Amino acid sequence: MTHINLLPWREEARELQRKAFLGKLLASAVIGAVLVFLWILIAQNQLDNQNSRNSYLKSNIAEMDKKVSEISELKRKKKEMLSRMKVIQDLQGNRSEIVKMFDELVRAVPDGVYLDSLERKGASITISGFSESNSRISNLMRNLDNSYKYENSNLTKVKHDGRLGEQGSVFDLQVEIESPVADKHEGTGD
């Protein structure tokens, strides 16, 4: 039998296979590196695109926030103006009420009663004064209750005072002012 030595051929075949494998491996590595590089480029491009969108949105949001604050400031100023207009309208509407209030008070005070001070707090008036007798204070309270401007008179203090004689008294009286709205409703009912 003849002996054929296949070892060099096998070694050459293995060497060719190893070179082909290394070539394929190198080609795969190059292709992989190119793909990774392309993927990084695309991702970076998308990131830059998203960052530019974000900065655009931030600038527009800042602009809108500025407009919202301007609108809020305008609303606050409008509210202030409306409250001032209401105060002015109330003052204009109630201008004659003060005159009517004092006129009715003068009509309600009987002879022998002298008023020392008046203090208004909201819808009530505190009256301080002195009188020749307690019956005159009672007349004052009745007159105030019967008037169209005052109601619910309440005597808070009575004390003997001899300035106007033996029956003289010093008093404090609290009375409520009827609201103009109630006057209007009463006026329409007649």
pLDDT surpasses 80 at 4: no
**Integer Cα distance of 185 and 163 in angstroms:** 44
CATH classification of the domain holding 127: 3.30.1360.100
Query: Which tens digits make up the pLDDT trace of 94-148?
Result: 777 777 888 888 888 888 888 888 888 878 888 888 888 888 888 888 888 888 8
Q: For residue 93, is it within any domain?
A: yes
Give the residues across from 114 on adjacent strands. 130
In three-state secondary structure terms, 190 is: coil
Sole residue written with tokens 């926030």: 65
Q: For residue 114, is it within any domain?
A: yes
Q: For residue 44, is it within any domain?
A: no
Q: What is the spatial order of strands in the sheet that 150-160 belongs to?
A: 113-121, 124-131, 169-177, 150-160
Q: Which domain holds residue 113?
A: 89-189
Q: For residue 21, is it within any domain?
A: no
Count of domains observed in the chain: 1
Q: For residue 34, is it within any domain?
A: no
Residue 190: per-residue pLDDT: 42
In the predicted model, what is the mean pLDDT of residues 4-27?
86
Q: For residue 40, is it within any domain?
A: no
Query: Which tens digits make up the pLDDT trace of 53-86?
Result: 999 999 999 999 999 999 999 999 999 999 999 9
Instruction: Kindly report the length of the chain.
Output: 190
CB 130 within 8 A of CB 174: no
Q: For residue 103, is it within any domain?
A: yes
C-beta atoms surrounding 118 within 10 Å = 13
DSSP conformational letter for 109: P
Q: For residue 132, is it within any domain?
A: yes
In the predicted model, what is the mean pLDDT of residues 161-173?
79
Tokens of 158: 């009575």
